[in-house]
Structure 1
Amino acid sequence: MKKLLFSALLCCCMATAFGHALWIETIVNGKKGQAQEVKVFLGEYAENERDSTQNWFSNMRDFKLYLIDPSGKKQQLECTPAGNHFKATFTPQTDGAYVLYIDHTVQEVYSGSKIRYYAQGIVQVNHAKGLDNLKQNDFVLLTGGAAPKKINVPEKVSLLHKTKTTLPKAELVVQSPDGWTKKVKSTQDAFSYVPVWNGRYLLEGTFTEDEKGDHEGKPYERVWHCVTYCKDVTK
């Protein structure tokens, strides 16, 4: 009976780990001298499920949120729990693009996989100078810019890793605010989708790395990488 219960709990944890995503939400257009609120969620975006911070699995509550200002200066932002998300604030002092970024490795190994979550966000103050600072990070999702896109206009997306020229088994999943989800196939290492509803979309890029080793005292056979980015779409 205990073995059956353990197996059920293990399956539940695996489903949570691979079914969930970590993402950042914030207002895209900021103002100098005005506090900017940032929210970090864990859950299933398309299902409108955002887990209470008290129920975040493994060591997910220990993530670190960083801000890179337009000059390239990097600092860690303090995050506090607020129900179904963590929140942080910063105040832009100059014009340009402010990059928000999380890079977090899950403590447990699930079904032979080490899991590494990434989440990015961009706040633009008057112009996009400094947007290339996003590429300082290990795994990023690149689009046509931080500004909101229009419905029915194709959006090109690419996945970029700091040290890898090819990303094995790379996938992009697009999730709309209305629960619509689509897995997009790549063409020459790039992706394209057409948003048909207005609102905030979640873009989720993944790839699986064939690497073996030990993590927190447990062996793993592969590394699953997952990066997210919220993209606003207007009519």
Structure 2
Amino acid sequence: MKKQFIIFSIMLLASIQSFAHYMWVETNTIGTVGKPQQVKVFFGEYTYGEIEETNGDAFKSVQQFTLWAIDADGTKTELKTTAKDNYYLAEFTPKNNGTYTIVLDNNNIDVIDYTKYNFGIFKTHYHAIAKVQVGKKDNHTAAVNPNGITVKDVSEKENTVKLQVMFKNKALAKNEVKVYVADLWTKTLTTDENGFVSFDLPWDNKYIVETTYKEETPGNYNNKEYEFIWHCVAYTIL
């Protein structure tokens, strides 16, 4: 009986882990006017070293995403992507100085039934951002997800990150935020009453910030009923 329970627990963890994937974007944090800038889109679990192949079923289920570069004035440029082995590749060329925000959005994902795991029937909405600094004029990143969750980088001090978490353009208070680094290192924080959270960058490494929100609103997508929407946003800091 004990052995069966352990096997079931492992299978349950694997199933929940596959659902807990997120999408994230990576790009050089420093850009130059007139110089092409590459952007990569990944799907998986960075801290576990799990990155899905673009031709696999997992990545194919989330491939209907949109990708944008937004400059400091709010001008949006949609980016076309090309599938590589385990990421999608895009490119844009900054035209002026300031902070660019790379924004991925994916609200086109089929309904998942996880009632057998006591999680329910839900629809997923993925969002992801990254920051590119062009020149010395540093601005806040853009927050452009009126139908879901996002984070806005409002940092003012070097090596200290300050973010504001928002849901449908309103500050999200008392929401759990996870900071991931490689080798399973994770730090869990909670936003304050105005949706802000801060943390230091002790290592020269890649950080991925992830926060989620369960919207208790039932609906229908592609002729399938769902009980709630699971929102997830990832912010990459290189």
Is the TM-score greater than 0.5?
A: yes
TM tier, smaller: 0.7 to 0.9
Percent identity of paired positions between Structure 1 and Structure 2: 30
The number of equivalent residue pairs is 218
Deviation at 1:161, TM superposition (A): 2.5
| 80 and 10 in structure 1: CA distance in 2 versus 1, 3 angstrom threshold | farther
CA distance in 2, matches of 1:48, 1:123: 24
Q: How does 1:65-214 map to 2 (within 5 A)?
A: 65-105=67-107, 106-111=109-114, 112-128=121-137, 131=140, 134-138=142-146, 139-145=149-155, 149-150=158-159, 153=160, 155-164=161-170, 166=172, 170-188=175-193, 189-214=195-220
**CA offset digits 1:65-88 (Å, max 9, x no partner):** 112123322121110011110010
Task: Answer yes or no: is the 8 Å Cα contact 2:123–2:229 preserved in 1.
Answer: yes
- When structure 1 is superposed on structure 2, of 118-127 and 176-185 the one drifting more is 176-185
Gaps of 5+ in 2: 1-10, 115-120
Q: How does 1:220-231 map to 2 (within 5 A)?
A: 220-231=226-237
Task: Answer yes or no: is the 8 Å Cα contact 1:28–1:124 preserved in 2.
Answer: yes
Q: State the TM-score, normalizing by the size of structure 1.
A: 0.81
What letter is aligned with 1:107?
D
Deviation at 1:53, TM superposition (A): 0.5
Task: Answer yes or no: is the 8 Å Cα contact 2:140–2:154 preserved in 1.
Answer: no
Q: State the TM-score, normalizing by the size of structure 2.
A: 0.80
CA distance in 1, matches of 2:81, 2:104: 12
- When structure 1 is superposed on structure 2, of 100-109 and 83-92 the one drifting more is 100-109
CA distance in 2, matches of 1:43, 1:192: 25
**CA offset digits 1:155-203 (Å, max 9, x no partner):** 3332012344546x73211101343012223332332334332211000
The CA RMSD measured in Å over matched residues stands at 2.7
| 82 and 98 in structure 1: CA distance in 2 versus 1, 3 angstrom threshold | same
